[in-house]
Amino acid sequence: MKNSTQRSKGRETDGSALRRAIVARTARIGIIGLGYVGLPLACLFAEKGFPTTGFDIDTPKVTALNAGRSYIKHIPGKRIAAVRKSGTFDATDDFARLKQMDAIIICVPTPLTKYREPDLQFIVKTGQEIAPNLRKGQLIVLESSTYPGTTREDLKPILEATGLKSGVDFWLAYSPEREDPGNANFGTNDIPKVVGGDGKVALDLTVALYDQVVVKTVPVSSPETAETVKLTENIFRAVNIALVNELKVICAAMGIDVWEVIEAAKTKPFGFMPFYPGPGLGGHCIPIDPFYLTWKAREFGINTRFIELAGEINTAMPRYVVARLAEELSQQRAKALKDARIMMIGLAYKKNIDDMRESPALILIELLEKAGAKVSYHDPYIPAVKPSREHANLTGRKSVPLTAKSLSGADAVLIVTDHDDVDYSMVAKHGRLVLDTRNAMTRAGFAGPHLRKA
């Protein structure tokens, strides 16, 4: 089956054929990377009537999607089944099919190396997969979080090595993902999309594309600006979380409840925005994105002292939690951390999702076990620890049931993730010492000398 721009025989170089196909929703959309960003985006385009194909190198994921099953908890299988039944969505690991697509959206990971430097291998490899299948009239959009310049300095040369030119033969743009997994108030379609294009036509086409599926598009002057927008959003959060994490340490030393302070402060109707402390940063953006900008800034001879200080504070939080746990065990249980049995509640990096990427819980397990503790965990969203590059030794460890026996058998219960569907009354009743890093017990209405905060 020929796609919409192929039917125009590629005669129009101003993007008008592609624009018509986009507005008519006949343009074929290819989404590369079917994870927490790519899968909801693919579902959204398919639900809006676009013929959509998801591309992923993980064959079991492809098989599951084509069978109408989901592997991400907050994306229900019935949503996948519905777009499969409608005929607007399919998944494949055959990247030769990229040639059939009119618009290709890249949603691949951008991790850090072990030296805390940007790792663009997935963007580079994706560009190399697109290149042999690139044809005239296609729109390529990068959504992966990255440093300013990636779209035009790293991806563009790979695509132009084919002999096709951006702005003439194909169009290139950047639009940062803004997914918030598990957020019941803001889905993909509810969140405005920032767009920066490599030229006016690329910008106009990308705006037209996202206009079909999201509440609002926000065009900016360049891909570099759009790339910086994404980093700025996450650096803003990282810095403010570092601030309240530092305040937590100060307040604890003074015998003041930092969560009570924040709740009172947020009643001010201006000049204050609440952020909350925790056991450390997690997820695919906030612990990583600031280092993308600090790395790029060094190219211009600039030291990002403020951002790096925030990183140091947030990175230190798991060790602070371990120190607090050791202190409470000694004071309340007359027990050392060595050989202590610790029940950890929550492995996901935030509540009500099954995403454990960069989760501080993984660091906490390793720190506690290095100190000689025996650690088990309970997480209703993560039945077993998934493979990860940084914590491969934890792969396969299984969640234990949350029961009166498992709680009372632990010397301490450590709340790391405040999932809503945890039975906190049971934790309060049977946990002999509970150290809460999320203020979950107070919010659930429980208090007592054995319920402590960190």
Q: Which residue has the tokens 């190399």?
A: 128
Q: 3-class SS at 351?
A: coil
CA distance 425 to 316: 30
Angle at alpha carbon of residue 41, lines to 123 and 231, rounded to 5°: 50
Amino acid in the structure at residue 132? P
Angle at alpha carbon of residue 56, lines to 53 and 57, rounded to 5°: 145
Q: In the beta sheet, which residues pair with residue 91?
A: 54
Residue 285 is a catalytic residue: yes
CA distance 73 to 386: 14
- Among candidate residues 103, 47, 51, 101, the one with its CA nearest the CA of residue 75: 47
For 454, residues 6+ apart whose C-beta sits below 8 A from its C-beta are 252, 279, 320, 321, 324, 325, 435, 436, 437
| DSSP code at position 338 | T
Count of other CB atoms within 10 angstroms of residue 201: 20
- What does the block give as tokens for 274? 């609440």
CA distance 247 to 127: 44
Using a 10 angstrom Cβ sphere, with 0-12 exposed, 13-18 middle and 19 or more buried, the burial of residue 252 is: middle
CA distance 144 to 219: 17
User: Which one of 43, 107, 251, 285 is the catalytic residue?
Assistant: 285
**In Å, how far are 195, 201, 203, 211, 431 from 206, measured between CA atoms?**
7, 8, 5, 8, 54
Q: In the beta sheet, which residues pair with residue 30?
A: 53, 104
Count of other CB atoms within 10 angstroms of residue 316: 15
Using a 10 angstrom Cβ sphere, with 0-12 exposed, 13-18 middle and 19 or more buried, the burial of residue 59 is: exposed
User: Catalytic residue positions?
Assistant: 285
